[in-house]
Amino acid sequence: MFKIQRYDTEQESRQETGNELLTKINERVQLKRKRTKRAKIEQATEQIENSKEKEHEPQDREKNKKKEKNEQSISLQKLNKNEQDIKDIKKLPEESNLQLYLDKNSEENNVLHAFPEFEKSEQTQQEIATTKLLGIPNWLVHPIIIDPEFTQPIDHFSLGLSAQLIKRCKTLGIHECFAVQAAVIPILTRFKSLSEVHTSPGDICVSAPTGSGKTLAYVLPIIEILSNRIVTRLRALVVLPTRDLVNQVKEIFEIFCKGTSLKVGTVTGQQAFIHEQEQLVGNFQDNLSGGISKVDILIATPGRLIEHISTTKNFTLQHLRFLVIDEADRLLNQSYQDWLTHILRPIQLGISNQIKKEHFGIKFDSFETPISDAVSSIVLENFISVPKTDISEPKISMIQKLLFSATLTRNPAKISSLRLVNPQYISVQIFETNENEANQIKYTLPSSLKEFMIVTTSSMKPLVVLNLLHNLNISSALCFTKSVDSAHRLSKLIQLFEELYQQRNNSHSLIAVAEYSSDLSLEKRKTILKKFKRGEIKLLISSDLIARGIDLDLVDTVINYDVPVYMKKYVHRVGRTARAGRKGYAYSLIESQEANHFKDMLVKAGHWNKIENIKINSTTLEPLKETYKESLNALKDYMTNLRSSVAKYQKNISDSMEIITSQD
């Protein structure tokens, strides 16, 4: 049994040894490439400026509005029948992401259609020496850079998707591939057949902004390749850090698997272990040769997965074709004891001679031949002397490891623990035209995101949140606090405020608020999310439970009630809005003593100039103040009652314990 530790996400950034130096080198290399493109970007910007001027004509403005609405409606969430247009927040300034624009019809982008090829820039001797010294592999210094604006029609031949899957995508409202999908899918669909991989397919590390469509970048090619399989075996394993994310990704796989015979399973610890074993292998009593699987695709949290690897009879990874590590930086952050080694050990065939047959759940008879044919060719090749002919090719490991993150680590030690084979690094990021910025940028955030900071005091923060809720056209917001307790207090306070405010102003419709925390049962959390998706809850207050990966397409605003201490956390939190090209707004409430740190963090990340410092107009606060005072008093009463009922409950328990002990 393995000990499962809670994540310490605060540690994420501490361990990035040599990262800053690498970033500088990396960005210098990229800058060299970009210089040649600058002329084109400037030209494109000029075109946009021209068209922007034209936009002032009312007719064109109307057209643009329609176009934007069309773009917004292209979203997978239509499947969930949440066809809800995101309303513009009229009171906020329009964004100007013009410099990011690349003319989609330009010659250059036509060349990028099939698969992007980029010239490798030269490094100085000093850069080469430094990267070697840090142990940073060359491929990590030379990412393939894809412009976030780049798209590809879903039926483009380069993607290699079958007519059936294309049809399914179109039915679900997917007509174009986003940049990350256009880059990753062709690499994965290159080897169509499951049995005839004669050269290592090569591993992939992908860094792309939040909401840029990383999930479909692996879901579509995995389904494409596995739908040709004849026998069900475990061929794709997706590892994710939380149960909520496992459930989300499972739903997506199931939606796109419809019409195929592929089976998708999950192991998260949500259900009894025995129930999961039933789902996974069916027979976990007998020792079956070569193992067995009831699912083609398994989505798992790491803790539960390693329990199955070590405990569930007949569970085998020998047929694995894809190992996906989503939210890779968080998973690589050594949060679980050595989980990666437990997964990698059984699949490192041909690399280590220490591996034993037992690792694969394989039984051999006395003649050293496998009892059944359910043993992969790579296992046969490694453990049995299969007679070779001049046409037989050496079988090599077919496993392709795919790492995805919006904030991918570049820590060489973490990367090397993955034992990647012929890796490629794909980075979806913008071309910075400003030289200084290009030298600093570390994280790419969605270009449709507008970020604001409000410097305030701790006691004013709830009032600022209420002000945002009441005075902006927010339709759906996520608010992040530093702890579960803080989320609980804030949600109770806002609920009390809303009730009192409604009593005072009869016309006011109550703003529905809910808390989303790990203290709630999974069922309760599901219900809350459903209500939030339906728009029945307008503000969801949470600690960092839903800061990563969760895809709620109607969120138009993120509020950092307690400001995050690390940039990665900031990127993931604000990335819950402005997804799939939609507009989004992020507000960070900064207490004055936090201001310096916050500024430093953003400056280091080259992000300081992206965030606008705004002040709350005191006249907008005035109408809320009286009710706010009352709700603070009501909260005090609520907390006092809560404490006394907890004390009573504890006393009852200890009294009962005393009675039981005295009876003994």
Ligand X SMILES: Nc1ncnc2c1ncn2[C@@H]1O[C@H](COP(=O)(O)OP(=O)(O)OP(=O)(O)O)[C@@H](O)[C@H]1O
**Which residues are near ligand X by CB under 6 A?**
74-77, 174, 176-178, 181, 208, 210-216, 406, 549, 551, 553, 575, 579-580
Residue placing its CB nearer to ligand X in the complex, 469 or 567: 567
Q: Report how far apart, in Å, the C-alpha atoms of 560 and of each of 90, 482, 542, 586, 590 are.
A: 21, 9, 10, 8, 9
Q: What's the min distance (Å) between Cβ of 546 and ligand X?
A: 10
**Alpha carbons 302 and 323: distance in angstroms, whole number:** 12
Nearer to ligand X, 288 or 449 (CB): 449
Amino acid at 143: P
Nearer to ligand X, 280 or 408 (CB): 408
Question: Bridge-partner residues for 207, per DSSP?
Answer: 405, 427
For the chain, helix (H) and strand (E) counts, in that order, are 22, 17
Smallest separation (angstroms) from ligand X to the CB of 191: 23
CB of 362 to ligand X, least distance (A): 36
- Residue reference for tokens 């917001």: 477
From the CB of 439, what's the least distance to ligand X, in Å?
A: 25
Nearer to ligand X, 76 or 420 (CB): 76
What's the min distance (Å) between Cβ of 180 and ligand X?
Answer: 7
377/447 with CB nearer ligand X: 447
- Backbone φ and ψ of 558, nearest 5°: -120, 135
Closest CB to ligand X among residues 172, 565: 172
> Would you say 515 and 488 are in contact if contact means Cβ atoms under 8 Å apart?
yes
Q: How far is the CB of 304 from ligand X (least distance, A)?
A: 21
Closest to ligand X by CB, 177 vs 331, is: 177
Strand ranges of the sheet holding 322-326, from the earlier edge strand across to the other edge: 144-146, 424-428, 204-207, 400-405, 322-326, 236-239, 297-300, 264-267
Q: CA of 207: how far to CAs of 502, 532, 629, in Å?
A: 46, 29, 46
Rounded to 5 degrees, φ, ψ at 650 are -65, -40
Nearer to ligand X, 77 or 427 (CB): 77
Least distance CB 488 / ligand X (angstroms): 25
Q: Which is nearer to ligand X, 176 or 519 (CB)?
A: 176
DSSP letters for 402-465: EEEESS----HHHHHTT--SS-EEEEE-----SHHHHHH------TTEEEEEEEE-GGGHHHHH
For ligand X, give the closer residue by CB, 181 or 314: 181
3-class SS at 625?
helix
Strands annotated E in 18-160:
144-146, 152-153
- Distance of closest approach, residue 327 Cβ to ligand X, in angstroms: 7
Q: How far is the CB of 202 from ligand X (least distance, A)?
A: 22
Q: What is the nearest approach in angstroms of ligand X to the Cβ of residue 167?
A: 15
Question: 402 has which bridge partners?
Answer: 204, 324
CB of 305 to ligand X, least distance (A): 20
Residue keyed to tokens 């490694």 = 382
Max distance between CA atoms of the chain, in angstroms, equals: 88
Contact 458, 441 (CB under 8 A): no
Q: Which is nearer to ligand X, 291 or 575 (CB)?
A: 575
| Minimum distance from residue 427 beta carbon to ligand X (Å) | 13
> Is residue 568 within 8 Å of residue 13, measured between CB atoms?
yes
Specify the residue, 176 or 278, whose C-beta has the smaller distance to ligand X: 176
Residue partners of 607: CB distance under 8 A and separation at least 6 = 441, 443, 445, 567
Neighbouring C-alpha atoms within 13 Å toward the C-beta of 438: 18
131 vs 476, which CB is nearer to ligand X? Answer: 476
Nearest alpha carbon to residue 294 among 348, 235, 252: 235
Q: Least distance to ligand X from the beta carbon of 388, Å?
A: 44
Angstrom distances, CA of residue 374 to CA of 222, 292, 319, 398, 420: 21, 8, 9, 16, 26
Residue listed under structure tokens 């902006």: 472
194 vs 605, which CB is nearer to ligand X?
605
Q: How many CB atoms lie within 10 A of CB 153?
A: 14
Residue 261 CB, nearest approach to ligand X (Å): 24
Asked if residue 300 lies in contact with residue 273, where contact means CB atoms within 8 angstroms, the answer is no
CB of residue 343 to ligand X, shortest distance in Å: 21
What's the CA dihedral at 558, 564, 566, 568 to 10 degrees?
A: -20
CA dist., res. 127 & res. 121, Å (int): 12
What residue type is assigned to position 95 of the chain? E
Provide the 10 A C-beta neighbour count for residue 354. 8
SS (H, E, C) 554-578: CCCEEEECCCCCCHHHHHHHHCCCC
What radius of gyration, in Å, describes the C-alpha atoms of the chain?
Answer: 27
Using the minimum distance from each CB to ligand X, give the nearer residue, 211 or 302: 211
- The CB-of-650 to ligand X minimum distance in angstroms stands at 41
Of all residues in this chain, which one has the CB nearest to ligand X in the complex?
A: 76
Rounded (5°) CA angle 349-351-353: 85
Q: Which is nearer to ligand X, 48 or 166 (CB)?
A: 166
